[in-house]
Structure 1
Amino acid sequence: MKILGNIIWVLFGGFFVALEYFVSSIGLFITIIGIPFGIQTLKLGVLALWPFGSQVVDIPQSSGCLSFLMNVIWFFIGGIWIFLSHLLFGVIFCITIIGIPFGMQHFKLARLAITPFGHDVL
């Protein structure tokens, strides 16, 4: 079921969402300061490409103030807009019964988009 869900996800927009994350990740990798943010955007891109069967987990050793500071910077630079877009798509997909699994995947992406530092994708 995970494979079928991922194939449908990729065919109906998941590829373009992941492509946007990968392009923005490359743009962030060009700058030295943006490399940590590029790594987090790459995580979002991988999750956006194959969300079914993937989990977002907390990293227990990253409870320091650096992770918090990076999440605050991320939030104000663009994380809020990514979060709101995934939240909106999640609500739109959850209106129909068929779209509920895809809406839940957008909610998973929204959780990682609001605070990517201190989380990992399995």
Structure 2
Amino acid sequence: MFTTPSVREEPTDTGNVFAFHIVKEVSAEDMTAMSEYMNAQFDTHDKVSMLLIFDHYDGAETGASLNLEALKARFRSLAKVERYGVVNAPDRAAKLIETMGAIIPVEAKTFDREDDGWSFVGARPKGMTPGA
């Protein structure tokens, strides 16, 4: 399971769905590690879906996403990510995700409720029964 100081993977009941809780401030090291992790998943799976759940998020370090591994993951995600759901996205990010979801070949949506995000990506947290 993938874990950094600000990103914790939530195991899912579906092998090609990856969910993450984002907390605190995302550092450049967190972003690089997550990008490396997802690039490895892109190598393994034809298509994946992702769910990001923002819990007590404090933003990202300036330039955290401006590294080679993160840029590589972003470009690869256009061909590899089927659905991209975000729960409790910061306002600015929510608007961008909804706009980009209409333009790029990835179905991207934001949600206020975590259950709606899980339904969108077609998975549940591992060990959790539907409707629980």
Normalized per residue, the structure richer in strand is: 2
Normalized per residue, the structure richer in helix is: 1
Structure of greater relative contact order (alpha carbons < 8 Å, 6+ residues apart): 1
TM over 0.5: no
